[in-house]
Structure 1
């Protein structure tokens, strides 16, 4: 099972060093990715894979405030997050997401591509139609692609999609791609056992419950008990 921690705008380099040490002391052979803020990237090798929450589709250049590939290469980062709803909410367009995807694909990055619907679309019963439109933007046959389904109405709200909803949506996405499929949206220690049993769910993209290293480890261990 894949466990991904999106630390979002949390942790300094000092606190992330402590976070990394706690994980390294406890992890064995689990498949774990951690997305720290770019200012907290660490040099060295770890039992987890360090990944980027955001990047600009260029090696470097006159792109004020952006993170180029050269900066990721310095820390041997080969996994990137694209399409998270919080990036879309601040204005990243489908055109920008496609440019990021094509660049990352060209450079051989592992891409975690996020899709998800808001509450209005969910309530209208148009989730699948909406998700299909988001998937049309990318190469679904790319061998280093992971798709993360994150219903916006469940991110940071404490609401989690039921196992029936997750199962139905992931089964639908499976019609279009053979990639690993993740679920994200208020994943925590209490619901991870149920989520881990869903047939087409290869893992989870965890937000709030991953910000504390010990809490994240408890979540991982809870899932392992069910595998």
Structure 2
């Protein structure tokens, strides 16, 4: 079945009030492919500004992270209900920069389940380090991350998941997996979903590529049968983000 192309923009710890408004103004005024779902993720500080500023019908706002427990004595954290209160319907979980800071596969799965139960959709991230790739363990690492997620989800939960495969060695480095490398892992993820979850989930789940995606490489990547879009980092802060969004035309 046809899966709707999806492009996420992870602003990471970047931006000011004015720069966030300028990025969104550019998206609002651009001729975006109407067949692409776009989700931007500014810092928590700027989420209210972003929600108020977005007028483009195909653009939504996401958090970069969420806490697995309800409101309470959790200093510095942000709950699912607080994100919903702001009008958000998305969050990212499991980005490698957070996994590197100590989040385990199980932590990420708990956050993802809490987000879904609270009414959010999730861009769930997975990926391997350079050492793991060079050791030939890429698929094993990603399957382990998937298994931890699947252990917490029920069948209907998968409807709220978008998977982002991000090879850690390609994030912010300027290196990018070749189209063949990216497609190979995306196909392996879909094969795992088919074997361990269901044919329907494998067919319907969108799998994004992330890792130094630019306007120069996005068109070739978008042509791959199992690449359903992108999770974009640094380039989402630049005007070329529009070109990446439109790369599937």
Bin of the TM-score, shorter chain as denominator length = over 0.9
Deviation at 1:74, TM superposition (A): 2.9
Matches within 5 A, 1:163-182: 163-177=179-193, 178=202, 179-182=205-208
Going by fraction, where is helix more abundant, 1 or 2?
2
Deviation at 1:134, TM superposition (A): 0.6
Q: What is the rounded CA distance, in whole Å, between the counterparts of 1:137 and 1:103 in structure 2?
A: 14
Contact 1:12 1:39 (C-alpha < 8 Å) held by counterparts: no
Q: Secondary structure at the match of 1:146?
A: strand
Q: Secondary structure at the match of 1:17?
A: helix
Give the paired residue count. 223
Q: Which residue of 2 aligns with 1:191?
A: 217
The runs of 4+ residues in structure 1 deviating greater than 4 Å are: none
Contact 1:104 1:111 (C-alpha < 8 Å) held by counterparts: yes
The alignment's C-alpha RMSD in Å is 1.5
Gaps of 5+ in 2: 194-201
* TM-score (norm. length: structure 1): 0.93
* TM-score (norm. length: structure 2): 0.85
Deviation at 1:27, TM superposition (A): 4.2
Matches within 5 A, 1:75-224: 75-139=86-150, 141=155, 142-177=158-193, 178=202, 179-212=205-238, 214-221=239-246, 223-224=247-248
Deviations 1:75-116 (A, max 9, x none): 211111111000001111223212202211212321111110
Residues 93 and 187 (structure 1 numbering): CA distance in 2 closer, same or farther, change over 3 Å?
same
Contact 1:183 1:201 (C-alpha < 8 Å) held by counterparts: yes
Deviations 1:20-39 (A, max 9, x none): 11111114423111000010
Gaps of 5+ in 1: none
